Amino acid sequence: MSFAEILEAVDTLPIEEKIELSELIQKKLIEEKRTILANEIKDANRELIETKIKHQTIEEIMNDLTYEL
């Protein structure tokens, strides 16, 4: 089913079902974003443990950036 076909199908729904569908999609997007964020945090923690990155304060990061320029 193409995106256009999906949109056409949604157009035929009653307003209540459109609202329900919208809320369901929003919940799924939130959950997907949480999963992505959790994976990024796991990766960052792993890199920190493997010393691929180092723990720095914001001031240290800004100093490093200024030095690199």
pLDDT, tens digit (0-9, with 9 covering 90-100), for 7-25: 999 999 999 999 999 999 9
Residue 10 located in a structural domain: no
The pair phi, psi for residue 8, each rounded to 5°, is: -65, -40
The DSSP code sequence of the chain is --HHHHHHHHHTS-HHHHHHHHHHHHHHHHHHHHHHHHHHHHHHHHHHHTTSS----HHHHHHHHHHH-
Torsional class of 51: left (φ above 0), alpha (ψ -120 to 50), beta (otherwise): left
- Domain range holding 38? 15-68
Our count of domains for the chain comes to 1
Average pLDDT, the chain: 90
Is 7 inside a domain boundary? no
Whole-model pTM over 0.85: no
